[in-house]
Structure 1
Amino acid sequence: MKKVCILVPESAVIEAVADPQYMFSTANQFLQANGQSALFEVNLVGQHKEVKFNNGMFSVHTNLLLDDVEETDLIIIPALFGDMKKAVDLNKNAIPWILKHYKNGAEVASLCVGAFLLASTGILNGKKCSTHWAFYNEFKETFPEVEVMDGSILTEENGVYSSGGANSYWNLLLYLLEKYTNRDTAILASKYFAIDIDRESQAAFMMFTGQKDHNDLEVKKVQEYIEEHYQDKITVEDMTQLVGVSRRSFERRFKKATDNTIIEYHQRVKVEAAKRSFESSRKNITEVMFDVGYTDTKAFRNVFKKLTGLTPIEYRNKYSKGI
């Protein structure tokens, strides 16, 4: 039997607690229906016998307390809810518990922003990690020792797993299921739960919010200029002249403040404008391309797919309101 401990954190997203329990329990049913033995022993583990969520609207009854667990093969850390610093602090007693079992050979998987609790253990230091795209900057600032992967669905390194935002954790659960069983069982689960088993990116769901959470006024001035003139041809030289700073120095400052080069930032603003247009208008691909300042169809397609994971026509077909 594979022992799976689903941590039930204080201030958790209840679905991220229930869904892994649901999937591994259903996988047991699949195996038994195929004449095999159930493989997973699934436990809900917490600091208390009852953990309440959403101001008491929901509660989960754990069947084991932290100290009751003698050994386990896998620990799943569900997504947290609310202020991440406060949520991690509420679960600080779980940190040595996670560390203990990881050092004893257990694998550990975080779902979505459960990565904040996982990273607080130090296990992720020097490793890659995925988390919800909307928390990318906060995570990166809080845990500079961790290589957070912008937009990725899941990461795996030395028995430590993490997943991207929201329902992306289903892809990690399917990945783990395939690892512990086989491809056929994972495919069956993907069909049963209606999950795209091989989705690799959350890029299509990411909203570019400008990355202005910094104090470099010259960089902000250039960001605002780009956002107001994204349709125009803008060169790095234009931007450095705008703020009166040498190119080499300013490019370094811009990259440090926004985690993008000036050209990358300009591309992201253009693509975000194109996404909004596809979502809310009936314009064709060429019209949108010209609207955001591209004249080369191939260049527009390549940049758009690089940033969203979809071609322009795929994105329009998926998200257009059809007005």
Structure 2
Amino acid sequence: MKHITIIVPAGKGTLATVTCIASAIEVFATANNYWKQSGKKELFRIESAGVSKKTEIYDSMFTVKPQINISAIEKTNLIIIPPVAYHDTKTIKEDQLLLKWITQQYKRGAQIATMCSGAFMLASSGLLNGKNCSTHWVHADTFQAMFPEVKLQADQLITDENGIYTNGGAYSFLNLLIYLVEKYYNRQTAIYCSKMCQIEMDRNSQSPFTIFTGQKQHGDEMVKKAQTYIESKLDEKVSTGHLSSRFSVGRRNFDRRFIKATGNTPIEYAQRVKIEAAKKAFETTLKTINEVMYEVGYTDAKAFREVFKKLTGMSPLEYRARYNKENSLKVV
């Protein structure tokens, strides 16, 4: 029988920590039961493990007690790391023993799955350096600043590379669990778990849920002024040449500084600002798609649809139908 270790962090946990631990146990227990009903043996033994006797969460409203200390686990097959409040050095220090154990187990062949901000814990071990990774889109800027050597894929719901799985934010961890069930059991077991737990299968992007606010946690004042300028010109097409000239910086140097500060080229940044404004219009107004398109500076309907779908994973019509039912009935 294989072994799953669900980590109970020693550092500061969140409400999501409790939810993810409980759900991971439930989904894999459901998969085990399905196999037993099919005449097969349980595939996994599921245990929660940590280095402390208990972890207090949400002002002690919840207490999570690991079933076992990690020191008692010689070998495991899959390690699941739930979300943690991992944005400060104190939390990282509290989990050093866990990180050392996780790294040792990975070198021995264990696979690792992180949920939401659990990626911060794994990234601090160095195991994600040079690899693709996802986390909650709201943490993207902080994550990139803390771990520049990790290839953050903030739009991706799930990444799968070299035995390491990561996923996006909030309740998308449920999609990761179904993905892992299919990976370790089979497709039919995953379908059964998705039906029993009512989890939508085969989601691969968190783009529809992303709220773009602009990466401004940097110290380049020129770039901040350029960002503000772009955001003030929603209905205009702003070129890189115009921006570099306006701020008296050579074009090549302007591009380099802008990308370093924001993670986007100036054109990509302008696209994201415009599409975010379009999304809000679709959510809250009765304007047609063409009206919104013109308001955010597009005159080519095909180009607008292509950029919108690239950034949200949905067409303008699909997005409007999902988030504004009254508007979805209106003719384009």
Range with bigger deviation, 28-37 or 206-215: 28-37
Give the residue type in structure 2 aligned to 1:3.
H
Query: Could you tell me which residue of structure 1 aligns to residue 5 of structure 2?
Result: 5
Give the residue type in structure 2 aligned to 1:2.
K
Aligned: 1:155 with 2:167: no
Aligned: 1:27 with 2:31: yes
Aligned: 1:93 with 2:93: no
Would you say how many aligned residue pairs link Structure 1 and Structure 2? 323
Question: Residues 148-198 of structure 1, C-alpha deviation per residue, up to 9 Å, x if partnerless?
Answer: 112111111111111111112222211111111100111111222222221
**Deviation for aligned residue 1:321:** 5.9
Aligned: 1:233 with 2:276: no
Residue 59 of structure 1 aligns to a residue whose secondary structure is strand
In the aligned structure 1, how far is the partner of 2:203 from the partner of 2:135?
15
Q: Percent identity?
A: 47
Give the residue type in structure 1 aligned to 2:294.
F
Query: Given the alignment, which residue of 280, 285, 299 partners 1:281?
Result: 285
**Deviation for aligned residue 1:322:** 3.0
Give the residue type in structure 2 aligned to 1:179.
K
Question: Residues 262-314 of structure 1, C-alpha deviation per residue, up to 9 Å, x if partnerless?
Answer: 11111111100001101111112111111111111110000000001111011
Give the residue type in structure 2 aligned to 1:7.
I
**Deviation for aligned residue 1:112:** 0.9
Tell whether the 8 Å contact from 2:86 to 2:121 is kept in structure 1 after alignment.
no
Tell whether the 8 Å contact from 1:2 to 1:73 is kept in structure 2 after alignment.
yes
Query: Given the alignment, which residue of 175, 180, 183 partners 2:179?
Result: 175
**Deviation for aligned residue 1:125:** 1.6
In the aligned structure 1, how far is the partner of 2:199 from the partner of 2:6?
21
Question: Residues 83-114 of structure 1, C-alpha deviation per residue, up to 9 Å, x if partnerless?
Answer: 45433232222011111111111111111110
In the aligned structure 2, how far is the partner of 1:84 from the partner of 1:170?
26
Query: Given the alignment, which residue of 63, 67, 82 partners 1:63?
Result: 67
Question: Residues 211-270 of structure 1, C-alpha deviation per residue, up to 9 Å, x if partnerless?
Answer: 111121111111111111111122222111211111111111111111111111111111
**Deviation for aligned residue 1:81:** 2.8
Query: Given the alignment, which residue of 264, 268, 276 partners 2:272?
Result: 268
Alignment CA distance shift 1:85-1:247 (3 Å): same
**Deviation for aligned residue 1:82:** 6.3
Query: Given the alignment, which residue of 114, 119, 142 partners 1:138?
Result: 142
In the aligned structure 2, how far is the partner of 1:124 from the partner of 1:286?
43
Tell whether the 8 Å contact from 2:134 to 2:167 is kept in structure 1 after alignment.
yes
Query: Could you tell me which residue of structure 1 aligns to residue 306 of structure 2?
Result: 302
Tell whether the 8 Å contact from 1:280 to 1:321 is kept in structure 2 after alignment.
no
**Deviation for aligned residue 1:35:** 2.3
In the aligned structure 2, how far is the partner of 1:143 from the partner of 1:218?
24
In the aligned structure 2, how far is the partner of 1:118 from the partner of 1:300?
38
**Deviation for aligned residue 1:5:** 0.4
Give the residue type in structure 2 aligned to 1:8.
V
Tell whether the 8 Å contact from 1:84 to 1:116 is kept in structure 2 after alignment.
no
**Deviation for aligned residue 1:16:** 1.5
Query: Could you tell me which residue of structure 1 aligns to residue 330 of structure 2?
Result: none
Superposition RMSD on alpha carbons, in Å? 1.4
Tell whether the 8 Å contact from 2:8 to 2:49 is kept in structure 1 after alignment.
yes
Aligned: 1:208 with 2:236: no
Alignment CA distance shift 1:160-1:82 (3 Å): closer
Tell whether the 8 Å contact from 2:86 to 2:120 is kept in structure 1 after alignment.
no
Residue 214 of structure 2 aligns to a residue whose secondary structure is coil
Residue 59 of structure 2 aligns to a residue whose secondary structure is helix
Residue 38 of structure 1 aligns to a residue whose secondary structure is coil
Give the residue type in structure 2 aligned to 1:241.
S
Query: Given the alignment, which residue of 120, 123, 126 partners 2:124?
Result: 120
In the aligned structure 2, how far is the partner of 1:265 from the partner of 1:59?
43
Aligned: 1:81 with 2:47: no
Query: Could you tell me which residue of structure 1 aligns to residue 196 of structure 2?
Result: 192
Q: Which runs of 5+ in 2 are unaligned?
A: 328-332
In the aligned structure 2, how far is the partner of 1:180 from the partner of 1:210?
38
After TM superposition, list the pairs within 5 Å mapping 1:308-319 onto structure 2.
308-319=312-323
In the aligned structure 1, how far is the partner of 2:298 from the partner of 2:196?
42
TM-score, structure 2 normalization? 0.93
In the aligned structure 2, how far is the partner of 1:126 from the partner of 1:241?
36
Query: Could you tell me which residue of structure 2 aligns to residue 103 of structure 1?
Result: 107
Residue 5 of structure 2 aligns to a residue whose secondary structure is strand
